[in-house]
Structure 1
Amino acid sequence: MQYLFQSQRLGFRNWKAEDLKELFSLCSDSEVMEFFPKTLTEYETKSFIIRMQREYEAFGFCYFAVDKLENQELIGFIGISNKDFKADFTPCIDIGWRLKKSMWNHGYATEGAKACLDYAFDKLNLTHIYAIAPAINAKSEGVMKKIGMSKVGNFVHPELAKDKRLSKCVLYEIKAN
């Protein structure tokens, strides 16, 4: 398998049409999607893959498909993506992750996010990356801290404003050295 870059245990690549079944399984899992308004349909998952392919073609980055190197198993995504919803810090580049439940608590999100930051700063020459999560998502906030990000504050996400459980979000940032 050709990877754009690797960490110790993970390979990062652009998306393929064949990834749809695995990604749909992940995005239709209610536990994985606990901090999102809803699970995704197969059509929404396919649209996500197409959007990520286009973002990679345009910018050289996206929320990358992530495989375990030992067996090339697709475990989810970790990467960076453009965000342009209305907020005082947008447009911006956001780092994010979503992994299969069976891959939780093995350090993959932290390892992968660190590799993506290295790629963003060293290869793409980006200078500033944000991370956003609902305030109730302590696990994602923990990853943000582990990868060296600093909390900027809280905000009400305009796309989640009507969802009392998810609307209050944390905002973290990290800058290139």
Structure 2
Amino acid sequence: MLRAWQEPDKARFAGMCADPAVMQYLRPLPTRASSDAWIDYQLEHQSSHGFCMWAVELRSSGAFVGAAGLMVVNFSAHFTPAVEVGWRLARAFWGQGFATEAGRAALDYGFRELDLREIVAHASIHNARSHRVMARLGMSHNDADDFDHPRLEEADPLRRQTLHRALRSDWLA
């Protein structure tokens, strides 16, 4: 279930971001202060845009799973301006369909409630797990759309990104 952030989530999120496996293909949040700032940014984004990367929890137990949702892409690239869908889950919840379920809920919200025409997703070319989630969500990929992330140094192995797209017309069909 996607929900608003709560104060206790900050410690859980920081713990998740301290796991090298979780952060392998993501820009690092190396300190508690940086992970708290990430959540504060989500809260500001929600206030400004009506959506963000929300907290994800299990309906059955209330366990903290991670974060997923929608964000305005905050860098310039050939596909911007754009809204992206994304997810970041604690390792204990990998491989159980939670990223796909959360991504589907976020896409549905973006297309049905926000009336967005297109939503993108991007990930390191090495992040096979996220590429599989994007495919399960029905997002299309064209090699010509792949790009170098402008906020990452040339030597950074995460710099090269794949871009996937979902269209409202396809989603609602």
Same fold (TM > 0.5): yes
Distance 1:100 1:136 in 2: 19
Look up the SS of the partner of 1:17 in the other structure.
coil
Identity of aligned residues (%): 32
Counterparts of 1:1-177 in structure 2, within 5 Å, are 11-152=1-142, 153-177=145-169
Contact 2:58 2:65 in 1 (8 A): yes
Tell me if the contact between 1:66 and 1:78 (Cα under 8 Å) persists in the aligned partners.
yes
Distance 1:168 1:35 in 2: 11
Aligned counterparts of 1:34 and 1:62: Cα–Cα separation in 2 = 22
After the TM superposition, which of the residue ranges 35-44 and 66-75 deviates more from structure 2? Answer: 35-44
In structure 1, how many angstroms separate the alpha carbons of the residues matched to 2:20 and 2:166? 30
Q: Which runs of 5 or more residues in structure 1 are unaligned?
A: 1-10
Higher deviation after alignment, 33-42 or 125-134: 33-42
Question: In 2, Cα distance between the equivalents of 1:161 and 1:129?
Answer: 26
Aligned residue number for residue 4 of structure 1: none
| 1:22-41 superposed Cα distances (whole Å, 9 cap, x missing partner) | 00001111110001243431
Is residue 77–residue 97 contact of structure 1 (8 Å, CA) maintained in 2?
A: yes
Residue 60 of structure 1, CA deviation: 1.2
More helix by share: 2
Tell me the matched-pair count: 167
For residue 37 of structure 2, give the secondary structure of its aligned residue in structure 1.
Answer: helix
Q: How far apart in 2 are the matches of 1:31 and 1:52?
A: 22
2:28 and 2:74 mapped to 1: Cα distance? 21
The aligned amino acid for 1:41 is: T
Q: Work out the CA distance in 1 between the residues paired with 2:69 and 2:21.
A: 21
Q: Residues 65 and 78 of structure 1 are in contact (CA less than 8 Å); yes or no, is this contact kept in structure 2?
A: yes
Whole-angstrom CA distance in 2 between matches of 1:129 and 1:22: 28
**Larger strand proportion, structure 1 or 2?**
1
CA distance in 2, matches of 1:31, 1:47: 21
Aligned residue type for 2:93: M
Task: Provide closer, same or farther for how the CA distance between residues 163 and 37 of structure 1 changes in structure 2, counting only shifts above 3 A.
Answer: farther
Give every structure 1 segment of 4 or more consecutive aligned residues whose post-TM-superposition deviation is greater than 3 Å: none
Return the TM-score normalized by structure 2: 0.92
- Rounded to whole Å, the distance in 2 between the matches of 1:113 and 1:65 is 12
For normalisation by structure 1, the TM-score amounts to: 0.90
Check whether the contact 2:29–2:35 (CA below 8 A) recurs between aligned residues: no
Q: Which amino acid aligns with 1:154?
A: D
